[in-house]
Amino acid sequence: MTPLCQRGEASCGACCGLYNRRDHSRRALAALLDRRTAALAHAPRTEAAFAAAAAGLGADDGDPLFPTVRVCPLLGWLDGDRTRVGCLAHPAVTGGAELRGAGAYDVATCDAFLCPSHAWLSEEEAELVAALCARDPWLYGLVVTDVPFVRAALRGVAALTGARVELRHLSAPGFARALRGLLGLKERLRPGSDGLYGAFRPGPGGDPVPRTLDYAALSRRPSPHDEILVCVGADPRSGNDLDALEEQVRAGLDACVVAFPG
């Protein structure tokens, strides 16, 4: 599969630790990437200089949400319009020098790592997500790393329209907007929600732990949109409001159905 990290106009920095902060709002992460990009723009293209810059930047990064997951200060903006994130120490970005050894991992690890989405997403699913989250690395990173969420959203639309969502359907701008809005549920979750990081919660064998909502504890019947709600962690224990999220899912699906080009 074509790597998901830089695909078309979409880009991701999740495994470089982008979201591993208490405040991982769009605004906070944009400011973080601004700071890193500006600091590294003037650093000499040597590993020692990048390591020194990384040390200074790392000290400013604040507490990580998950202390055992590394945060690399060498992730920044690759373009002046701030639409693409990527590694500022990669030879393709530095003009030839290999400086990734100054970051959170060694060069071999950075080179070899591909997250599980590479094995789980189909090519068409990957293209759909990249097209829908083009030029929005904040949303793309949250969505592309959560395969169950992508599938639940696409299945939810298909169940109501009676047709599988295909890449060609995105040529209808209203439908593309509506489907992007459905994926945008990720934007409205409380910090630390299961729905933000559920995809990264491995079980003892390394496979993802199935996510469930405890409807009995909430004294209510399972939602018809359970599959999507489970993925976004619509559980009060995650700090999210189940009823409010259910309404957002219903409205998001309705918007997709109305705009579906058929």
Tell the smallest beta-carbon distance from residue 80 to ligand SF4 (Å): 19
Select the span of 26-34, 110-118, 123-131, 224-232 touching ligand SF4 (CB under 6 A).
Answer: 110-118
> Can residue 10 be called a binding residue for ligand SF4 (CB under 6 A)?
no
Tell the smallest beta-carbon distance from residue 42 to ligand SF4 (Å): 18
Tell the smallest beta-carbon distance from residue 229 to ligand SF4 (Å): 24
Select the span of 106-114, 147-155, 159-167, 182-190 touching ligand SF4 (CB under 6 A).
Answer: 106-114
Residues in contact with ligand SF4, shown as a per-residue x/- string from 139 to 178 under the rule CB under 6 A:
--x--xx---------------------------------
> Can residue 94 be called a binding residue for ligand SF4 (CB under 6 A)?
no
> Can residue 100 be called a binding residue for ligand SF4 (CB under 6 A)?
yes
Tell the smallest beta-carbon distance from residue 132 to ligand SF4 (Å): 15
Shorter beta-carbon distance to ligand SF4: residue 74 or 134: 74
Written as one string, the DSSP assignment of the chain is ---SSEETTEE--GGGTTT-SS---HHHHHHHHHHHHHHHHTS-SSHHHHHHHHHHHHHHS---SSTTS---TTEEESSTTS--EEETTSHHHHTS---GGGSSS-HHHHHH---THHHHS-HHHHHHHHHHTTT-HHHHHHHHT-HHHHHHHHHHHHHHHSS---GGGGGSHHHHHHHHHHHGGGGGSPTT-HHHHGGG-B-TTSSBPPP---TGGGTSPPPTTHHHHHHTT-SGGGT--HHHHHHHHHHHHHHHHHH---
Tell the smallest beta-carbon distance from residue 115 to ligand SF4 (Å): 3
Instruction: Find the binding residues for ligand SF4 in span 41-80 (CB under 6 A).
Output: 72, 74-75
- With a CB cutoff of 8 Å and minimum separation 6, the contacts of 254 are none
What residues make contact with ligand SF4 under the rule CB under 6 A?
A: 4-5, 12-16, 72, 74-75, 87, 89, 100, 103-105, 110, 113-115, 117, 141, 144-145
